[in-house]
Chain A
Amino acid sequence: MSAMGQAGQPASASAIAESVRAGSTSARSVVEAHLAAIDREDPSLHAFLTVLADDARAGADHVDELVSRGEDPGPLAGVPVALKDNLCTRGVPTTCGSRILEGWLPPYDATVVRRLRAAGALIVGKTNLDEFAMGSSTENSAFGPTLNPHDRSRVPGGSSGGSAAAVASGMVPLALGSDTGGSIRQPAAFCGVVGMKPTYGTVSRYGLIAFASSLDQIGPFATSVVDAALLFDVISGHDPHDSTSLDRPGSRLAEANCPDSAQSVEGLRVGLVRELMDGTDDPVAQMLAKAADALSAAGASVEEVSIPELRYALCAYYLIAPAEASSNLARYDGVRYGLRVDAEDLTSMNSATRAAGFGPEVKRRIMLGTYALSAGYYEAYYGKAQRVRTVIADAFAAAYQRLDALVGATAPTTAFSMGAKVEDPLSMYLSDVCTVASNLAGHPAISVPFGTDEAGMPVGVQVLAPALGEAVMLRVASALERASASLPGIPAAGRASTGRASTGDPAPGRAPGQVGEPA
């Protein structure tokens, strides 16, 4: 990890932690460099809703003190991390991108936040999102949209668009998002960074403000697969505060499964899923073909497979997720915290508060979900969607009988223009068509940057694996990451303006066409 970024700082999370733990770089200087980047970049990106400069500096000083005393501050020593603003932070505004939580200060830290602090990470701020994580462009934030660092006329994807843009622009090396139907992977693809949705239950949801509880999962954004794995290692593990939390054996995925060996996928059986390619734009389809070639070249056996059941995933998702949301969001009633719009009686106060506090997409989903759960409709909608969910899980299970991992597009398109889909919810929902199945099944999936379209916008390739299959997923993702280095690069984006060059940066100057050819 020799590459240096801003002001001579190490750029990747792994390199920062290594350097801070060794005492060769101070956490304080790391955090100052990144706060400076935020000052420079964020006014034109709007990735952050809150910047915690003082907290981050105090945290950095504490890390430096530990190092000076010869103690180990932890695996993320001095690494600046941004949090999607639906993760509770004690005493710090946590808005979910909504007016309804105006003025509310959580009295507790989410479990992931506690784990980050315990690992020596520095929380530098809270990032923008579609309101209550409902959206695919971050345009549904009550506080205004986030812009794509590669092209400010385009969306960064969503709902974790702020976290994706923050990492892509070099303002932070790591960020956390939440993924209910693709909200980590799709913005990662749009912004050209790595975004991972872990197996449901591997990361505690305690302190994650719920959208759809059976689908929500917290996961990392990073500039490299190994950094994503490093962050996942820190945040995962059993939490007694979350009944759905799994007791995963504490293997260190970052070290074991992201080796620099070109043969790491040797012998793996990888399926290229037709349903995760059909209907994608040409540039995305072309990159998928190159990704398949690259994996073959690296020693995997790649075959095209069809899992027809995946065609029903989006429909099932848009019943189950709103149904759970309609219940999860009932508590924002003006009685206890957040916004209250006074009215003559209780019911009117509830209605007035919710009418003023929620944006149109949130209202749309609450209504959809309420309808889907209503007496007389439950079986036809929610009940059937749950059965589809089982069918999809079974179909995946059948595929994994003979395949180790699956590959497909993360999103059917690259980042679209601001405003292009705001008026057309259905076309916006279609943005999630490749990602929702993993949430329904509870499986892990990761988006890895893999080339660009003709406009220079990043393309993401998605790797899927069975439940708790993070190890094999990361091996395949690492192989794609290595292969992507020989593609025409991810455009400069924030990097040009920050002068940043990170590990995993593409080698410049390669022409299209060289890609994917066996070395």
Chain B
Amino acid sequence: MGPDDPLELDGRPAPGRAEISEAGVTLDGWEAVVGLEVHCELKTATKLFCGCRNSFGDEPNTNICPVCLGLPGSLPVLNAAAVEMAMRIGTALNCDIRPSSFHRKNYFYPDMPKDYQISQYDEPINVGGWLDLPDGSRVGIVRAHIEEDTGKTTHLGASGRIHGASSSLVDYNRAGVPLVEIVSEPDIRSAEQARAYAAELRGILVATGASDGRMEEGSMRVDANVSVRRVGSDRLGTRCEVKNLNSLRSLGRAIEYEMRRQVDILASGGSVAQETRHFDEVKGMTVAMRSKEEAFDYRYFPEPDLVPLAPDDSWRTRVAASLGEMPAARRARLVELAANASSGPHLEASLSNQVATVVDLGLDDLVVAAISAGIDPSLALARAANEAAANAEAASGLDPSAFATLLGMEAGGKLSATQAKAVLAEMLAHGGDPETIARAKGFEALGDDELARAVREAVSANPAEWERYQAGEEKLAQFFVGQVMKATRGRADGKAVVAELGRLRG
């Protein structure tokens, strides 16, 4: 992400940047119609239909058995933990959880051991929900169904793709890993909104405990169905499905590119061909993979080796009850907590980004503990969203009460801001309680008496400067702070020194 990407600036296009398509046609008056298909790998201990370990990054072809290799005679047995995770996702996305069944999706590919994929087709487990985005928009969810993942193919040779490869290697560790595919309604109208949807969905998947939502590792994979139309039209244009979107940034870039490409075609009187396109990350463009005519006939039919799935009411109730708060609710809770604790009438707008970061990284507990301990919300959010977030993995394991103690020391003037940040970095890197770390670093702040004495000594040692300060030359306060810092070897808190000077001045 960089400043040259207009989407990185708080999700708004950079001001002054012209919305002109490649061919010079203006995008004014056009809008994108986007639906996203998100594949999410479930974090179950074992695979969807066998007892093999579900684990990323192991030695190739070590987590395999007759079932996930699709050996002759093997049969699938559904993993209840995967069903439960799918139900958690469906519940979090406000879906109906319905009796469902599995189908076979037939096509030949070497990374698919049976040459068919077991998937849910016309009776998915989760139907008809929605996802509310932070900007207040709502995106409908068509369905969120269960299916099995394929193996992973590595094509050797120049192209890196199957055509022209000198040979290919297949790792079946991923074959049979449980997936939930979440299909949105085509309610998304821009690249930014698509990114916001994917980010919010990722937060929900993580919050349900069903997935770690890592796009780079492929545990969350996004395909985008993109079409364009004139603003105000309610007709859907011909769509293209864009694949290979490995980051939120790629998602945004691909939709922007695709939108411009399609507007160019339509504005010059052409028509968009329905096809599947591949996003080339390096070139920043989409290229045609296969046309509608070349699309597979998957010959879906009911999977005879599995029985229908009908979670009963008590299971559904149990799942719903065990679901923690979702990101939107957690953000609202933090905002409310912060607003109530703030001296001001409303929370500064800039804090909402910090709230989003805190919730996204799951650092809510730190902020809640600090605010509850009487710390100013802006300090609590700043330290959590900036310094703690810099080492998010360690921060999620941080003891909230230790975090609150540290911020209390900072707020009470026992530590300067610089010192507090250094102590926090140490806590994140090696653990430990803030008082001990501060002492070890020699950060112990001066007591009130000691500080007052140091200020008086500085005043009497510099009578000329004191006179000018008394006459109203405010910048000399910093001179005295420097003197006191020097005398106390940095143990004094600058703000406390200024306060003491003010008191002496009367």
Contacts and interface: CB of A to CB of B under 8 A. Distances in A.
Interface of A: 86-88, 94, 96, 101, 104, 106-108, 110, 205-210, 212-214, 240-244, 323-324, 326-327, 330-331, 333, 335-337, 345-347, 350, 370, 373-375, 378, 382
Nearest to B170: A335
Nearest to A213: B304
Contact of A243 (B75, B108, B113, B168): B75
Given A243-B76, A243-B306, A373-B301, A330 B115 contact: yes
Given A87-B73, A214-B304, A243-B75, 18 more contacts: A88-B72, A88-B73, A104-B72, A106-B71, A106-B73, A110-B73, A205-B75, A240-B77, A244-B305, A244-B306, A324-B301, A327-B299, A331-B113, A333-B115, A336-B70, A373-B106, A373-B300, A382-B301
B360 to A, nearest CB: 39
8 contacts: A101-B72, A243-B75, A243-B307, A330-B115, A335-B110, A345-B163, A347-B108, A374-B297
Nearest to A205: B75
Contacts, number: 98
A361 B339 CA distance: 76
Contacts of B113: 331, 336
B108 A330 contact: yes
B171 to A, nearest CB: 13
B459 interface: no
Nearest to B76: A243
Given A330-B106, A336-B69, A378 B301 contact: yes
B231 interface: no
A512 B306 CA distance: 50
B115 A206 contact: no
Secondary structure of the A contact surface, majority rule: loop
A241 B78 CA distance: 10
Contacts of B74: 206-207
Contacts of A337: 71
A241 B70 CA distance: 14
Contacts of A205: 75
Contacts of B162: 346
Contacts of B301: 323-324, 327, 373, 378, 382
Contacts of B116: 327, 330
A330 B73 contact: no
Interface string B90-116: 000000000000001010101001111
Contacts of B299: 326-327, 370, 373-375, 378
Contacts of B297: 374-375
A326 B108 CA distance: 12
B72 A106 contact: yes
A110 B66 CA distance: 11
Interface of B: 66, 69-78, 104, 106, 108, 110, 113-116, 162-163, 168, 170, 297, 299-301, 304-307
Contacts of B66: 106-108
Nearest to A350: B108
Nearest to B114: A331
B108 A333 contact: yes
B209 to A, nearest CB: 26
Contacts of B304: 212-214, 244, 324
Contacts of B77: 240-243
Contact of B73 (A207, A240, A335): A207
A206 B72 contact: no
Contacts of A374: 297, 299
A331 B72 contact: yes
Nearest to B74: A206
Given A106-B71, A331-B70, A333-B108, A243 B115 contact: no
A347 B305 CA distance: 28
Contact of A107 (B71, B75, B300, B306): B71
Contacts of A212: 304
Q: Sort A-B residue pairs by CB-CB distance and give the 4 closest, nearest first.
A: A330-B115, A214-B304, A373-B299, A213-B304
B464 to A, nearest CB: 89
B307 A209 contact: no
A96 B72 CA distance: 10
A87 B75 CA distance: 13
A444 to B, nearest CB: 19
Contacts of B76: 243
Contacts of B104: 327
Contacts of B170: 335
A210 B75 CA distance: 9
A107 B72 CA distance: 10
Nearest to B298: A375
A329 to B, nearest CB: 9
Contacts of B106: 326-327, 330, 373
Given A244-B305, A378-B301, A206 B73 contact: yes
B71 A243 contact: no
Contacts of A324: 301, 304
A326 B116 CA distance: 11
Contacts of B306: 243-244
B72 A346 contact: no
Contacts of A346: 110, 162, 168
A345 B167 CA distance: 9
A241 B110 contact: no
A333 B107 CA distance: 11
A244 B307 contact: yes
B110 A210 contact: no
A243 B305 contact: yes
A209 B108 CA distance: 19
B78 A243 contact: yes
B71 A242 contact: no
A333 B113 CA distance: 10
Nearest to B105: A327
A94 B116 CA distance: 22
Contacts of A336: 69-70, 113
A375 B105 CA distance: 12
A87 B299 CA distance: 28
B305 A213 contact: yes
A98 to B, nearest CB: 10
A210 B108 contact: no
A86 B114 CA distance: 17
A327 to B, nearest CB: 5
A242 B73 CA distance: 10
A241 B75 contact: yes
A214 B70 CA distance: 17
A285 to B, nearest CB: 36
Nearest to B106: A327
Given A108-B66, A327-B104, A330-B115, A209 B72 contact: yes
